[in-house]
Amino acid sequence: MEAERIHRDAIVIDAVAPLLNLGKKNYVDSYIAGGVTCAGPNVGGARNANTIKEIGGWLRLIRSREDLKLVQKASDIETAKRDGKIGILLRFSEPFETDLNLVEAYHTLGVRLMQLTYNRRDYVGDGCEEDIDGGLSRFGKNLVRRLNENRVLIDCTHTGYKTTMDALSLTTRPTVFSHSNSAALFPCKRNILDDQAKAAAATGGLVGVTGVPQFVVPANGGPARPSLDDLIAHVDHFVSLIGIDHVGLGLDYCGGTLPFDNPETIVSAWEKEIGEGTWNPETYPRPPHYNPPEIETPEMLLGMTKGLLRRGYKEQDVRKILGLNWLRVFREVWGE
């Protein structure tokens, strides 16, 4: 009963919700059923034309449903909670090309969280899958300044070590790793080192732990099958390292995982990403993999609250991890 009460009353923010990408907006109801107050679909990649189309689709959907609210400032999330709605946080990676004025354009369209790279090198800097990491480019440094100026939250996930450390030393506002786990617990290229987490916390930002199975535990030649306790071990690590005020959730439920797609479709999508070089099979082992069973789908997110309480977290700390830490960061970057 305690877990149900806390979860019902809490602001719950899953800042990374690619399950809602690419025509899968029907899963909004899954997040609502799971008690989520705000979810962050990805609205773009490297091509601006596709990004504009995806943003337009979301804006139309939000206007057509009374239970959705576009999130542009922190109080929008509190209003969504009060009114029984779910806030939609538009986020993306990469579609800057070489024009800094796109920051203002996307900000006007409602995008409030922008990721610097996605695994590979782009005009901003190097992704975490690159063998050589030269750090932020001149364009990347100017981009960080422009994002700060426009009060857009910077996300260093999927980005190379030196590139993230350059960004974290340059930024003047809280900056995050929205969906990254601990390399100290599981050393893969998509997870982050302790000094990266500390640098993000030093800006006032946070680390959002991700439930993507193959970033929680090793696959070891077969499917990754983490337990919820395996995932919460990453929460524990970051809490002990950078403090309870700097840890949140970026669970990254994805249409390319079980149980949201069939195994044949998942493998086909994986082969495409591997073939295009977006993913490295060492970091992204052959699927399918399995989400932690207690939080297998967004409808089951009460399981996260139960798991944190079972692990010994007090109510106020559970509320911080579920959403209040994200809300603080949003308020500091976006304003009220």
Residue 118 sits at φ, ψ, to 5 deg, of: -130, 85
Q: Which residues contact 56 (CB under 8 A, 6 or more apart)?
A: none
Contact between 38 and 323 under an 8 Å Cβ cutoff? The reply is yes
Mean pLDDT of 172-192: 98
**pLDDT exceeds cutoff 90 at 23:** no
257 — pLDDT class (breaks 50, 70, 90): confident
Contact between 91 and 42 under an 8 Å Cβ cutoff? The reply is yes
What is the model's pTM?
0.96
User: In this structure, how many other beta carbons lie within 10 angstroms of the beta carbon of residue 195?
Assistant: 13
For residue 219, give the 3-state DSSP assignment.
coil
pLDDT confidence of residue 21: 83
d(CA 320, CA 297): 21
**pLDDT exceeds cutoff 70 at 46:** no
Residue reference for tokens 């969504």 = 80
**pLDDT exceeds cutoff 70 at 266:** yes
Mean pLDDT of 306-331: 98
Instruction: State both tokens at 233.
Output: 């071990």
Strand partners of residue 127: 159
pLDDT confidence of residue 24: 65
Contact between 20 and 28 under an 8 Å Cβ cutoff? The reply is yes
pLDDT confidence of residue 22: 61
Mean pLDDT of 10-24: 88
pLDDT in tens, 206-225: 999 999 999 999 998 889 99
In the chain the domains, ranked by start, together with CATH numbers, are 2-334 (3.20.20.140)
User: In this structure, how many other beta carbons lie within 10 angstroms of the beta carbon of residue 311?
Assistant: 14
Instruction: State both tokens at 280.
Output: 């490295």
Which range is least confidently modeled, 15-24, 268-277, 284-293, 304-313? 15-24
d(CA 78, CA 71): 10
d(CA 23, CA 179): 22
d(CA 40, CA 17): 5
Best CA proximity match to 2, nearest among 10, 34, 211: 10
Mean pLDDT of 224-234: 97
